[in-house]
Amino acid sequence: MLQYNSAMAENTLQKINEIAVSEFLEKGFRGASLREIVKKAGVTTGAFYGYYNSKEELFSALVKPHSDYVLNYFKSIIQEFMNSPRSEWSKGSYDTSRNGIQHIYLYAYEHKDAFRLILKASEGTEFENFIHQIVELEIEATHIYYKEIEAQGFKPYELDPTLEHLLISGEFSALFELIIHDISKEEGIRCVKELHAFYEAAWKSVLKL
């Protein structure tokens, strides 16, 4: 009996989550109605509160594990690169950034619903600045990187902060457009590789490297 009740609870939770994804994607976090989610899931409001305390908690449960994964992964590859021999920084940055952005794309592809919620429906939640958080991490790492290679004799890093932010946010925004528009995995991988090559060439042009 206990196993049966546990299975029922799991099925109810899954139904709430499925309906919530659909409602949030259609109406956004602000526009989605908790009452409507409960009604379509076929549960009572009291039953809903047995799983979540609020609409905010429901949305967070759907996206936070995946948002956290990408942000923590991005921080980890930055740290791994920073811990590598600095004499190799000027040679190893391309592979590190290319492999990192491909991994993020593949993870997002495998968890499309969560990332569509983050990218399209998160206004009014703590997740609405997700891409901005990645951009800020990249900008911080970029400044550390160029300060070091300047010390190795490379050309000083001179770039207008506004242009810098536009270039970095442009690459990550374009990356996640592949998820928003449901591009096939094969085409997405190809686009990610070409996107990274394009931005790498753009950086070299802007910085006159």
Give the whole-angstrom CA distance, residue 194 versus residue 101.
12
CA distance 56 to 19: 15
SS3 content of the chain, % helix, strand, coil (to 5): 80, 0, 20
Written out in words, the top-level CATH class of the domain with range 1-53 is mainly alpha
Write down the pLDDT at residue 86. 77
**55-83 and 112-121 helices cross at what angle (nearest 10)?**
100
One digit per residue, the tens of pLDDT, for the chain of length 209 reads 434 456 667 888 999 999 999 999 999 999 999 999 999 999 999 999 999 999 999 999 999 999 999 999 999 999 988 888 877 776 667 778 888 999 999 999 999 999 999 999 999 999 999 999 999 999 999 888 888 878 877 777 788 899 899 999 999 999 999 999 999 999 999 999 999 999 988 888 877 76
pLDDT for residue 2 = 39
CA–CA separation, 153 vs 31, rounded Å? 54
In angstroms, the Cα distances linking 146 to 66, 92, 100, 158 are: 30, 13, 19, 10
* Cα 179 to Cα 173: distance, rounded to the nearest angstrom: 10
CA distance 137 to 166: 14
CB 98 within 8 A of CB 67: no
Closest CA to 111 of 74, 62, 73, 183: 62
Structure tokens belonging to residue 147: 């300060």
Contact (CB, 8 A) for 200 and 94: yes
Going by C-alpha positions, the residue among 119, 130, 112 that lies closest to residue 29 is 119
Q: Residue 93 has what pLDDT?
A: 72
In this predicted structure, what is the pLDDT of residue 124?
97
Q: How is residue 148 written in tokens?
A: 């070091």
Domain boundaries, the chain: 1-53, 62-207
Rounded distance between C-alpha atoms, residue 89 and residue 96, angstroms: 10
Burial class (CB in 10 A: 0-12, 13-18, 19+), 48: buried
Spatial separation of the C-alpha atoms in residues 169 and 88, rounded to whole Å: 26
User: For residue 28, what pLDDT is reported?
Assistant: 98
Q: How many CB atoms lie within 10 A of CB 96?
A: 15
What is the reported pLDDT for 7? 67
